[in-house]
Chains A and B, each alone.
Chain A
Amino acid sequence: MNESRRDFLKTSGKALCMTAVATQMQHLGMMSTLAQKVKDTEPKQIGGDNYKALVLVYWSGGNDGNNMIIPNHNDATISNYAAYSAARQPQGLALDQGTLLPISVPRMGGLSYGLHPALGPVTGGINNGIHELFGQGRMAVVANCGTLVAPMTKAQYQNNSVQKPYQLFSHSDQVNQSQTSISDSVAFTGWGGRISDRLTQGNNPNGLIPMITSISGAQLFTAGQSTLPMAINNASTSLASVLNPAGFPNNAAGNARRTAFNQLRTVDLDSNFVAAASHVTDLAIQANTALQTFQEVTVPFPNTNIGNQLKQVARLVKKRTDLNINRQIFYVQIGGFDTHNGQLNQHTTLFSQFSQAVRAFYDEMVVQGVSNDVTTFTLSDFNRTFNPASSGANVGSDHAWGNHMFVIGGSVAGGDFYGLNTGNGTPFPTLLNGGPDDTSSGTSARGRWIPTTSVEQYAATLARWYGLPENQLGEVFPNIGNFNGSNLGFML
């Protein structure tokens, strides 16, 4: 610690807050990106060829995947539109087949499936949405993916012979499991954070900000054991202001006060709460210096919360060379998917916002020349019950399990479905309440699909592309060995 701290001070023009950082790191037993960087003063190749980023778009509240990807065919040998309609039309939750945006899916024998209409061009939209990216081979679907401890059949689910994820169908627990990838015990670090712990030093040795940035507050996904994320406001605040402490005039009194403001974080660290508050503030002050200049993005983004979140991500990607950073992970979130009632209108609004923002982001990455280096992917709490909740104008759906995910980018083997097969020989679940993929049987069964692909397999596929070495997969994803394969094949 002493050695690195000395170097730290030597190589830094901001000795004061560095000391604070180092002290808090020591106190909390943490080494930050900042503390680690002193070991290697030569920058690695930055930006350009070696840059990669993962962008998680989290659908908060549990997205109803059953109304996002819908059979658009009449093949009677597999769940078709009629099967979907029969289960959802009576309460008014089924989408009209004519409104679906068709995609042709090789993995499903070339049959047509349909995306929710709001995922294409929409009234008042500023781009064509994400639907056409599927056909262009830039978007893949991972079907029936969810939290699992180990693979599980319906019989095993019902006779408890395989360990279930703890507290299925509960928001907070399933959010935690999606974001930690660990479903057999409570975990304190997210899988993004654990990747950051292992790759920061090698890839961002002189990074001026942490590897992970959240544009949506503190999230378990971003928490590492030895590294912490930066969390900032969306693009409605400029990068120069997001972490700038206001009100220090540039005179003797202002400078003396700023000095004291920074020095106070170096003392009274015996309290773990004080140390933690000081640590977060230090991280912010450090990043603030690096964020004072930035260039605006080129592509228009929608002026929505998710649009402004992804716009802020795009600004940081554009600034990657300045920030001395080779690998970045971003967390953005769109909330409101807990559609127990009034789902049809809400879902349309949410999907429209999601699709417009993600498409703008993809287009901006193309303009920046990094569309092959930036992969956007989704996660959610869970899918929702195939059987609707309430009815009529109020119709919604309840908490369920296995769900469909999108992966978007130039390095995605798009235009197809991925994931392990269910009993029907495809990765797409059989759409039948009480059917072979439902947790329950009988008339009260509500259509909660048992996932065939685990969050860990999905995450490991992304992490490997990002550069996590094979021999560290098991450290980041402790239960990956329980599953058949850690590469779902959707990344080129």
Chain B
Amino acid sequence: MVNQWPKALVATFAVFVLLAVSHLQVNAFSDENPNSPTPILITEPNTKRALAVPAWKFNAEDPTAGAEQIHQSGSDVYLFIYNVQLMKGEGANAFRLNVQDAKGRNYRFDVTDLVPVAIKGYSEAYAIRVRLRDTMGFWAEPINNADVAVSVTWRGLASEKRLLGHGNTGGPMADLLEKHIAKAKTSETDGSDYVANRWSGDRMRFLQQAGFGATSALDWRVRRIGVRAFLAEQLDAPYPSADNPYPDIPLKSTDSTNVTIGCGMFPDGTLERRICNRDHYSMYPVQKWFFTEALYGQPQLKHKVSWALSQIWVISGAGGVTQQSSWMLAYHKKLSENAFGNYRQLMRDITLNPGMGNYLDMARSTRNNPNENYPREILQLFSVGLFRMNQDGTLICVENNPCQPGDTPIPTYDQATVDNFTKVFTGWTFCNVGCPNSLPSIVNYKDPMAIVNVNNHDITAKTLMAYEGAPNPTIPACSGCTGEAIRTYANASLEQALDNIFYHPNVGPFVSKLMIQHLVTSDPSPAYVGRVAGVFNNNGWGVRGDMRAVVRAILLDPEARGDVKTDPNFGKLREPVQLATNILKALNVKNAALTGPSDGVLTNYTNGIGQNPFNSPTVFNYFPPDYTIPGTSLLGPEFGIMTTGTAIGRANVVNTMTYGQINAGENTPGGTRIDLADLQALMVADPTGNLVLDELNHRMLHNTMSSEMRAIILPAIAAVGSTDTLGRARAAVYLVATSSQFQVQR
């Protein structure tokens, strides 16, 4: 029996296996330690009670004098923290105070000021000013006659919880806190350096943020050259991979059935007809190409950022609106061309892209019959958003800046603005004659749209957005213009209108927050948004909208980096595409016969759980960026497609991946299957399954597996016959991959 091997032998074998996979271990000396220190709330001596001074008594010279135990709801108090190292410019909005009352409900109080203070016994201490007023707005205010538990969060890390008398001291919270602390002691995580593998939690998380998951090859690459060098390499990598170019699919007639230029040259029911329809009139080739690149491509980051952009600037094949794969491919090329380019160029290229022109109707909007669809959405979804924002993404209200609960936010624009932008965007349509890809009887979905009939452009005056420093708040009429003069005027007006949008101060925080949500965390701190927006506004060389710099800033921010993130609100639910690719890449994905790569036809793994790539249900994407987690007002966009039905669907997808495969067939030329040979070897080395769990902890959980989680999984591994190493490895994989602990990237 394997599990009766002498312990020494097991240990030796284990060491051998580990050496075999870690012989290239080189720490990336060019990288700084990604970990930020964990903030600590200063307590009253020998208690679990946070030291707190009413704001009106606070004196920076003697900061803790005047500390009181009872604080009134709505009042301002100073709390004290240490063990933080602030960057230049990092201030109050980098901190938030999480609050829990004895009912177990969660609240958030804003931190409004930060003052360096000298407190004996603590170096680099700060006083943080907190208003004892919930800003989440989901529950009413916390219980106001008892202790609440408070915890400071900063850069994705949370301090220990401490007591704060809210209206009064006492109540059950002190006991609850003791239990919490006792429990925490028994459930420490396995640690981040179990194989002397420095910063591996951070590295694996990075590969999921900056791509579609970690393979051992990617892991080794980052180990060798470090996160920063890897990022630089990724930012310059050719895209797409040389062995996975964009499919070259010709434009077809919009009539797929009856004309020879569609698929009508093949008789009904033939293989040729089916394949012709599939490849030209569905998103199949785009999806297959997309997943192949996600699983095996070198330029992971550009692929990931393009995917994120495709979920912001949405066009979709759903309902046949984007009818042909060639239309979507032309569109995706524009996204990826600009993924590390300038946002202003992206705005122009997409505005004139015929796929978008069709999807949001600009291609059919004329002076006499204008269509508001695109003008409304470019403002609302792609650039400035509905309400005025500060650089850190917090809203500006009529009453206060930033808004306080109950205040009235200020709209960024109104219907009149939409009407006026609509006028600007009239007259463009498909360039079916005289452009490089123009063909007879074919709608040109490759070249930018053009003013084909000058009389379709509205030449009256327009009033655009007015804000401080706004370029082109008005566009004068083109009085008496005819012919070419209109075309010139129209093209100039388009640039002016796009500038009017692009220079709006909302664009930086709006785009930055969306990109952070797609790559890193659903509910970023205002400071994080503010830092990235600052880079959007100026890349350091005076350039606005430099996405290369923005992406870099997002991924290197201290809120994104670090081994273990303890902020209860850090991270994001893995969207279905990310769930599937992360698991498959972690487990050596191959074709069904395990003889070569997967064919990339993975939609069976994503469509049923809410994400059919390039077939978003609406322009609002699969899930809205402002979706809040039920039972809270915490942002969690991906929870918009997490329901009872899809929760089980996710488990069933993992079941198919783990215990089954996608067979080869007409639409799945090679099929897809994971290869667990390496985990089976570890199962032989250590039949208890601990080594396998170590490995899965490293590959999939950023080393956050708690001892409790491990203790729950081990008996399920042991219940499988000891000679069935595949069965044991599968049990481990199934349980880790279905766990909520893994469903969330954190």
Q: For the complex, what is the distance from the CA of A233 to the CA of B649, rounded to whole Å?
A: 10
Q: For the complex, what is the distance from the CA of A24 to the CA of B218, rounded to whole Å?
A: 36
Q: For the complex, what is the distance from the CA of A60 to the CA of B636, rounded to whole Å?
A: 22
- Residues of chain A in range 371-395 having any CB-CB distance to chain B below 8 Å: 388-391, 394-395
Interface string of B707-746 (1 = CB under 8 A from A): 0110011011011110000010001001100111101101
Given the known inter-chain contacts A253-B720, A340-B373, A444-B419, please indicate yes or no for A288 contacting B740, CB distance below 8 A: no
Q: For the complex, what is the distance from the CA of A15 to the CA of B376, rounded to whole Å?
A: 52
Determine if A259 and B716 form an interchain contact, defined as CB atoms under 8 angstroms apart.
yes
Interface string of A238-282 (1 = CB under 8 A from B): 000011111100001101110111011101101111111111110
Determine if A277 and B659 form an interchain contact, defined as CB atoms under 8 angstroms apart.
no
A156 at the interface (CB under 8 A from B): no
Given the known inter-chain contacts A168-B415, A246-B655, please indicate yes or no for A218 contacting B631, CB distance below 8 A: no
B573 at the interface (CB under 8 A from A): yes
Determine if A271 and B376 form an interchain contact, defined as CB atoms under 8 angstroms apart.
no
Of A39-47, A131-139, A223-231, the one with at least 4 CB within 8 A of chain B: A223-231
Determine if A188 and B137 form an interchain contact, defined as CB atoms under 8 angstroms apart.
yes
Given the known inter-chain contacts A231-B643, A341-B361, please indicate yes or no for A277 contacting B632, CB distance below 8 A: no
A410 at the interface (CB under 8 A from B): no
Q: For the complex, what is the distance from the CA of A228 to the CA of B632, rounded to whole Å?
A: 12
B240 to chain A, nearest CB (A): 32
Of B347-355, B478-486, B622-630, the one with at least 4 CB within 8 A of chain A: B622-630
B141 to chain A, nearest CB (A): 13
- Residues of chain B in range 358-409 having any CB-CB distance to chain A below 8 Å: 360-361, 364-366, 368-373, 376, 380, 386, 406, 409
Of B283-291, B491-499, B564-572, B582-590, the one with at least 4 CB within 8 A of chain A: B564-572
A165 to chain B, nearest CB (A): 12
Of A26-34, A456-464, A482-490, the one with at least 4 CB within 8 A of chain B: A26-34
Of B102-110, B266-274, B430-438, the one with at least 4 CB within 8 A of chain A: B102-110
Closest to A242 in B: B645
Determine if A218 and B642 form an interchain contact, defined as CB atoms under 8 angstroms apart.
yes
Contacts of B568 in A (CB 8 A): 270-272
- Residues of chain B in range 602-651 having any CB-CB distance to chain A below 8 Å: 610, 617-618, 620, 624, 627-634, 636, 639-648, 651
Given the known inter-chain contacts A29-B106, A253-B727, please indicate yes or no for A268 contacting B617, CB distance below 8 A: no
Closest to A234 in B: B645
Given the known inter-chain contacts A225-B138, A263-B712, A335-B617, please indicate yes or no for A398 contacting B371, CB distance below 8 A: yes
A359 at the interface (CB under 8 A from B): no
Contacts of A172 in B (CB 8 A): 380, 620, 624
Q: For the complex, what is the distance from the CA of A223 to the CA of B364, rounded to whole Å?
A: 38
A235 at the interface (CB under 8 A from B): no
B652 at the interface (CB under 8 A from A): yes
B688 to chain A, nearest CB (A): 14
Q: For the complex, what is the distance from the CA of A485 to the CA of B617, rounded to whole Å?
A: 38
A276 to chain B, nearest CB (A): 5
Contacts of B369 in A (CB 8 A): 91, 388-391, 395
Contacts of A198 in B (CB 8 A): none
Contacts of B624 in A (CB 8 A): 172
Determine if B644 and A232 form an interchain contact, defined as CB atoms under 8 angstroms apart.
yes
Determine if A276 and B629 form an interchain contact, defined as CB atoms under 8 angstroms apart.
yes
A145 at the interface (CB under 8 A from B): no
Interface string of A314-335 (1 = CB under 8 A from B): 0000000000000000000001
Q: For the complex, what is the distance from the CA of A28 to the CA of B610, rounded to whole Å?
A: 24
B411 at the interface (CB under 8 A from A): yes
B187 at the interface (CB under 8 A from A): yes
Contacts of A245 in B (CB 8 A): 648, 651-652, 655
Looking at the complex, which one of B376, B636, B718 makes contact with A273 (CB distance below 8 Å)?
B636
Interface string of A163-179 (1 = CB under 8 A from B): 00011111111000000
Q: For the complex, what is the distance from the CA of A163 to the CA of B370, rounded to whole Å?
A: 29
Determine if A253 and B719 form an interchain contact, defined as CB atoms under 8 angstroms apart.
yes
Interface centre among A232, A255, A277, A391 (most CB of B within 10 A): A277
Q: For the complex, what is the distance from the CA of A396 to the CA of B366, rounded to whole Å?
A: 13
Determine if A30 and B642 form an interchain contact, defined as CB atoms under 8 angstroms apart.
no
Determine if A217 and B610 form an interchain contact, defined as CB atoms under 8 angstroms apart.
yes
Determine if B629 and A256 form an interchain contact, defined as CB atoms under 8 angstroms apart.
no
A146 at the interface (CB under 8 A from B): no
Looking at the complex, which one of A218, A270, A272 makes contact with B634 (CB distance below 8 Å)?
A272
Looking at the complex, which one of A1, A169, A256 makes contact with B376 (CB distance below 8 Å)?
A169
B342 at the interface (CB under 8 A from A): no
- Residues of chain B in range 635-675 having any CB-CB distance to chain A below 8 Å: 636, 639-648, 651-652, 655, 659
- Residues of chain B in range 174-194 having any CB-CB distance to chain A below 8 Å: 187
Interface string of A183-194 (1 = CB under 8 A from B): 001001000000
Closest to A214 in B: B643
Q: For the complex, what is the distance from the CA of A272 to the CA of B104, rounded to whole Å?
A: 12
Contacts of A267 in B (CB 8 A): 187, 706, 708-709, 712
Contacts of B573 in A (CB 8 A): 273, 277
Q: For the complex, what is the distance from the CA of A72 to the CA of B192, rounded to whole Å?
A: 74
Interface centre among B371, B522, B639 (most CB of A within 10 A): B371
A46 to chain B, nearest CB (A): 22
Interface of B toward A, CB cutoff 8 Å: 103-106, 137-139, 187, 319, 360-361, 364-366, 368-373, 376, 380, 386, 406, 409, 411, 415, 418-419, 522, 566, 568-573, 610, 617-618, 620, 624, 627-634, 636, 639-648, 651-652, 655, 659, 704, 706, 708-709, 712-713, 715-716, 718-721, 727, 731, 734-735, 738-741, 743-744, 746
Q: A273-B629, A341-B371 are in contact. List 6 more A-B contacts (CB 8 A).
A: A28-B631, A30-B631, A226-B631, A259-B716, A396-B361, A398-B372
Interface of A toward B, CB cutoff 8 Å: 1, 26-30, 60-61, 91, 166-173, 185, 188, 214, 217-218, 223, 225-226, 228-233, 242-247, 252-253, 255-257, 259-261, 263-265, 267-268, 270-281, 283-285, 287-288, 335-336, 338, 340-341, 388-391, 394-396, 398-399, 439, 444
User: Could you list 26 A-B pairs, sorted by A, with CB under 8 Å?
Assistant: A1-B104, A28-B104, A28-B631, A29-B105, A173-B386, A223-B630, A232-B645, A243-B644, A245-B648, A245-B651, A259-B716, A260-B712, A264-B713, A265-B740, A268-B708, A270-B566, A272-B106, A274-B743, A280-B647, A335-B618, A340-B361, A390-B369, A391-B368, A396-B371, A398-B373, A399-B372
Q: Top 5 nearest A-B pairs by Cβ distance? A: A231-B643, A29-B105, A256-B719, A284-B644, A247-B655
